[in-house]
Chains A and B, each alone.
Chain A
Amino acid sequence: MHLDHHHDGPAAVSADAHRPNGSRRALRIGLGGPVGSGKTATVAALCRALRDELSLAVVTNDIYTREDAEFLLREAVLPPERITAVETGACPHTAIRDDISANLEAVEDLEDEVGPLDLVLVESGGDNLTATFSKGLVDAQIFVIDVAGGDDIPRKGGPGVTTADLLVVNKTDLAPYVGSDLARMAADAKAQRAELPVVFQSLRTEAGVTDVAAWVRAQLAAWTA
């Protein structure tokens, strides 16, 4: 706080890279995707992987409960003061895209209350394939789908699959049981996304969230550069 030249300035309005006190704010990464694809499980795994090296916080956007936040609290992936639930009025996609003010407040309050943060993860409640985060809210977004939701989702595309900064195809361990063709999913994703990255992961295996954590570290390196 010693660099605090204008601490009486009013709060930031939107995606300003600096906080009112002049310090650089935390990197914000959004996680969206269909219901049950593994967003909360990925957030939990990322917290476990990164919490010893980074100062982290999480914002959840549930549809009508606080279940995601409560799961993260129960699993004790972070201290409770680092997890905030935003109420979304039955429309998580509105709260992450069209009217982002409640989420911006949650992010800023976390930074004010738990001190300097490196990274804030914002999870959207499970929604449809068109739900994406506003650039006014997050700096990068991860779209999480799973192999059990049908292996034609990458082919169908949609804004999440096509434009997310990272596409995660989760639950690869279930592919043999649900008859999903991972090679085909990879080819379809490549066709939709060109050079944008895709990670196939199973949180039930040893490697778990390793690749996604590496991607997050790279985003953070670029943000702080």
Chain B
Amino acid sequence: MSRAALLVLADGRFPAGGHAHSGGAEAAVKAGRITGASSLEEFCRGRLHTAGLVSASLAAAAVLGVNPMELDAAADARTPSPALRVAARKLGRQLMRAARATWPSVELDALAREFPKGAHQPVVLGVTARVAGLDAVDAAHCAAYESVSGPASATVRLLSLDPFDATAVLARLAPELDRVADQAVEAAGRVVDHGVDALPSASAPLLEIGAELHAAWPVRLFAS
């Protein structure tokens, strides 16, 4: 594997559309659930162990060569909110474009042909990692990290939170993030043997409900 390729893919400036999404932070700020650094940390921790774990497992399984169509259907089944399914596919489509320009490959072209309007973002992330020569654990780390870095940077904009405090939240979550990535890789290994039903299905009802409410707001800063 190439460690530098992992940095390219995990870089917050990788142009794959993430900047327009708050990972549920905008809805949580409005509802008063995120008011500062410590509640941001709790929010991120919850997201990491639910949506983050599922995303990381999907991404890791894609690296191991599990069929993206099956993974995409499994992602749908694990995402009750229609608004979140739309957001995940939009982000998947945007990542697909960036990935095809960055790591041109027949595998990504085939995925783009299969899903012209986008597959779930973690599935695309896994295929991208695979094409970039990365391992399952790398893709799992990327997905797990994105599940918390998006809300953290969005909260900096939404609450004018001190950016150093937001970054310190991410650093404090790092050991848990490593554990979630390991769990995801184990789950992905089970998927290879037993099919996609072996994927974790941890969910956070408030994230799903918040996403539905958010999608109906007439005025908002973030797309999700």
Contacts and interface: CB of A to CB of B under 8 A. Distances in A.
Interface stretch (B15-23, B41-49, B180-188, B204-212): B15-23
Contacts of B154: 89
Contact of B218 (A8, A65, A89, A101): A65
Q: Determine which residue in B97, B116, B220 has the highest number of CB atoms from chain A within 10 A of its CB, and name it.
A: B97
Interface residues on B, range: 20 to 34
A123 to B, nearest CB: 17
A90 B160 CA distance: 13
Name the residue in A66, A90, A101, A102 with the highest tally of chain B Cβ atoms < 10 Å from its Cβ.
A101
A89 B112 contact: no
Contacts, number: 71
Nearest to A63: B221
Interface in A2-21: 8-11, 13-14
Contacts of A63: 221
A90 B222 contact: yes
A9 B219 CA distance: 37
Contacts of B109: 10
Nearest to B97: A101
A78 interface: no
B116 A11 contact: yes
Contacts of A94: 19-20
B143 to A, nearest CB: 18
Contact of A102 (B13, B17, B157): B17
Contact of B21 (A14, A89, A98): A89
A94 B223 CA distance: 14
Contacts of B100: 10, 13
A89 B113 contact: no
Given A65-B218, A89-B20, A90-B221, A10 B94 contact: no
Interface size bracket, A side: 20 to 34
Interface in A92-108: 94-95, 98-102, 104-105
Most interface-central of A88, A90, A95 (chain B CB within 10 A)? A90
A87 B223 contact: yes
B140 to A, nearest CB: 23
A14 B20 contact: no
A100 B220 contact: no
B20 A87 contact: yes
Q: Is the interface of A mostly helix, strand, loop or mixed?
A: loop
A135 B203 CA distance: 41
Contact of A91 (B19, B22, B93): B19
Contacts of B20: 87-89, 91, 94-95, 102
B29 interface: no
Interface string B95-130: 001101100000001101100100000000000000
Contact of B220 (A14, A64, A98, A104): A64
Nearest to B113: A10
A104 B118 CA distance: 14
The residue among A14, A66, A99, A100 with the most chain B CB atoms within 10 A of its own CB is A99
Contact of B19 (A11, A66, A99, A105): A99
A101 B223 contact: no
Interface of B: 13, 15-22, 90, 93-94, 97-98, 100-101, 109-110, 112-113, 116, 154, 157, 218-223
Given A13-B97, A89-B19, A101-B97, 19 more contacts: A9-B113, A10-B109, A13-B100, A63-B221, A87-B20, A89-B20, A89-B21, A89-B154, A95-B19, A95-B20, A98-B13, A98-B15, A98-B19, A99-B18, A101-B16, A101-B94, A102-B17, A102-B90, A105-B93
10 contacts: A10-B109, A10-B113, A11-B112, A13-B97, A14-B101, A89-B19, A90-B221, A99-B19, A101-B15, A102-B94
